[in-house]
Structure 1
């Protein structure tokens, strides 16, 4: 997530420079042929180009709206995880009791640390690369990784989970396919055991189980966004329309500027190149921005900052436990939070 007021041009222009090169080539070739070889037939009426541009603008706007909705839904889900985690923390502290205060504190710590393990396993699962994601397949995204690092790619899940789980739980969780799901299952088993031992009343036990259900709901929503890509048919048609429009754009401008030759001279034709580049760049960048927004957990600079959110939850819950040695908050790298 970028937390600056806006992307600086020194970052944005290099990120989109391939689109600029593309439009430069598409604009120069027909202009040279028209001017030096007198291929007047290259100039096509502006009307079909404008109609295609209208359709392209419509489908690009639709895609960007839908991909933004995916990102905003992902942020809402993680907002709910923040609230449910805090609620689970205070319920754990206030509902789980024992005459042995040392044991009571250990139980609180064990359950809340197991919740940290769930947050850790979930964010690692969400950062796994899917075949349809663009962060490592597109050169401009790979190059932009020099401005920030994705913590889940730099660290090891085993090492992070080991600090939150007992040895037996750690070994069991590593043997499972969906670690986050099984960690909540462990939480439920522990709560059931404490209820049977009388450390949690029946009413409070139900309330805590409902919190686990809410966490499952939020995890399921994250998995739905992660595992269901923006529909390929809409993504493909937007790509095809945009590229076709950019190819035809210089031919339409040749037609328009050739009408002004008598008034301004033949050199007016060369304006085809800058105008085609600017307008084509706008449409190509709209497509690229939509593409960079459609997968909000892939490790992109515009992603939901799941690592930072998870760390903030950990800090809040550790303070509830009365711990003083708190981990530092995640800091932004070049105004990018992950």
Structure 2
């Protein structure tokens, strides 16, 4: 997530500089041939080019709206994960007691049980985050302009192993079990349910509180499923592919439509086709790229959902509920980018 007031013009130009060079070549070649060889037949009336441009603008607008909805839904899901996590912390602290049990449990043991429930939830948040960072074939993070921009920030999940992250949160046996599973986040919630069942048998929680905590686990599964839906179902390829084809068709036609328009202003004005073609092409193509980098809100781009920062917020809140000291610091943005 970009946290600065705005991207600088320099950043945008560097990000799109390869495209600018392509548009310059595309505009220069037909203009030079038209002006130097006097090939007047090369021109295209501006009206059909403008009609194509109008259609392309609608398509780009549709795509950007759809991809923004994907990103905003992902942010809402992680907002719900934050809230559900706080609720789980409260319930783990307040619902687990020996008030309804024949077995008397000392305060230290109760705190250990509560801590295990909360730490297992932190492990779930961690596993989900790592699963959502796994690259998919349709994602765009490996494209040269995105890979180059990644030098400005750190993707926490790519720099640290999952095992190292889970080690402080889970007991050794459970850690080995979870790492042996494919969908580790799912298995952690299953383990939470088993733990609640065992606590109910021991009388350390009553039926009502047990049902409430199980209902919260269902909410957690729901948040995970919604995140996986966005991660595993790409923006439809037919829209993404054809939209890009239409953008490039328009870019290729722009100089042919502008040459005659500038030529009527005078012989030397035809050379104005080059900068104006470049400008029009840059605007349309950059708008298309904005939609492209918004398609996949979990891939690790600078406009992604800041899952690591949100996970750290959850960790701080839940550890604070346990009255722990030496809480971790919130994750800070690097070059205005918060991951």
TM-score with structure 2 length normalisation? 0.97
Q: Which residue of 2 aligns with 1:325?
A: 326
Ranges of 4+ aligned residues in structure 1 off by more than 6 Å: none
Say which SS state the counterpart of residue 26 (structure 1) adopts: helix
Structure 2 residue corresponding to 1:115, chosen from 104, 117, 121: 121
Distance in 1 of aligned mates of 2:181 and 2:68: 33
Distance in 1 of aligned mates of 2:163 and 2:42: 62
Say what the alpha-carbon RMSD is for the aligned residues: 0.7
Structure 2 residue corresponding to 1:235, chosen from 230, 237, 240: 240
Q: Which residue of 2 aligns with 1:315?
A: 316
Q: CA deviation at 1:22?
A: 1.2
Match runs of 1:160-175 below 5 Å:
160-175=165-180
Say which SS state the counterpart of residue 130 (structure 2) adopts: helix
Distance in 1 of aligned mates of 2:269 and 2:258: 11
Structure 1 residue corresponding to 2:160, chosen from 130, 151, 155: 155
Q: CA deviation at 1:21?
A: 0.9
Residues 262 and 269 in structure 2, CA contact (< 8 A), matched pair in contact too? yes
Deviations 1:108-167 (A, max 9, x none): 11110011100110000000100000001x100000001101000000001111111111
Say which SS state the counterpart of residue 20 (structure 2) adopts: helix
Pairing 1:194–2:204 present = no
Q: Which residue of 2 aligns with 1:184?
A: 189
Q: CA deviation at 1:36?
A: 0.6
Q: Which residue of 1 aligns with 2:288?
A: 287
Say which SS state the counterpart of residue 336 (structure 1) adopts: coil
Q: CA deviation at 1:19?
A: 1.5
Match runs of 1:127-146 below 5 Å:
127-136=133-142, 138-146=143-151
Q: CA deviation at 1:81?
A: 0.4
Structure 1 residue corresponding to 2:255, chosen from 229, 244, 250: 250
Distance in 2 of aligned mates of 1:69 and 1:49: 30
Distance in 1 of aligned mates of 2:213 and 2:254: 61
Aligned length: 333
TM-score with structure 1 length normalisation? 0.98
Distance in 2 of aligned mates of 1:64 and 1:185: 38
Unaligned runs of 5+ in 1: none
Q: Which residue of 2 aligns with 1:206?
A: 211
Q: Which residue of 2 aligns with 1:53?
A: 53
Q: Which residue of 2 aligns with 1:14?
A: 14
Q: CA deviation at 1:288?
A: 0.5
